[in-house]
């Protein structure tokens, strides 16, 4: 499933005439950013017990990552993910409003940043 989301996000950022208003593009990019950031943090946090992560997984991972790597230059990207992408993305979520107001180009830039996390 993640591969499908990433390939869809990749195809969005490669579009020449991207629809700046299309909410589906923004939702896909927001989800892909969170997943990329989570994958990165999970790979870096020592002795992580994923079973103990709660409902706000990205936020909890970022706290643990910050505790272990508080001088990492990647913290700014992780902070952007927490700030720019809603935690609860589903069909009836009121959290769509920030995505509606946000430029798709901001999400494209963030997706590229999260894709480059190593």
pLDDT tens-digit profile of 73-101?
Answer: 999 999 999 989 877 665 555 556 778 88
Domains: count for the chain: 1
Q: Look up the pTM and report it.
A: 0.90
pLDDT of residue 96: 64
| Cα distance between residue 94 and residue 117, in whole Å | 29
Q: What residue ranges of the chain have pLDDT lower than 50?
A: none
Average pLDDT, rounded, for the chain: 90
**For the chain, percent helix, then strand, then coil, each to nearest 5?**
65, 0, 35
The whole domain housing 29 covers: 2-46+53-115
């Amino acid at each position: 499933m993640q591969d499908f989301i990433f390939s869809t996000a990749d195809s969005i950022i490669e579009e020449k005439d991207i629809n700046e208003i299309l909410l589906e593009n923004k939702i896909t990019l927001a989800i892909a950013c969170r997943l990329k950031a989570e994958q990165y943090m999970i790979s870096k946090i020592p002795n992580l017990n994923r079973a103990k992560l709660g409902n706000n997984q990205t936020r909890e991972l970022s706290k643990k990552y910050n505790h272990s790597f508080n001088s990492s230059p990647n913290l700014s990207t992780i902070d952007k993910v927490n700030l720019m992408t809603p935690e609860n993305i589903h069909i009836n979520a009121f959290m769509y409003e920030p995505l509606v107001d946000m430029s798709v180009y901001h999400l494209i830039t963030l997706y590229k940043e999260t894709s480059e996390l190593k």
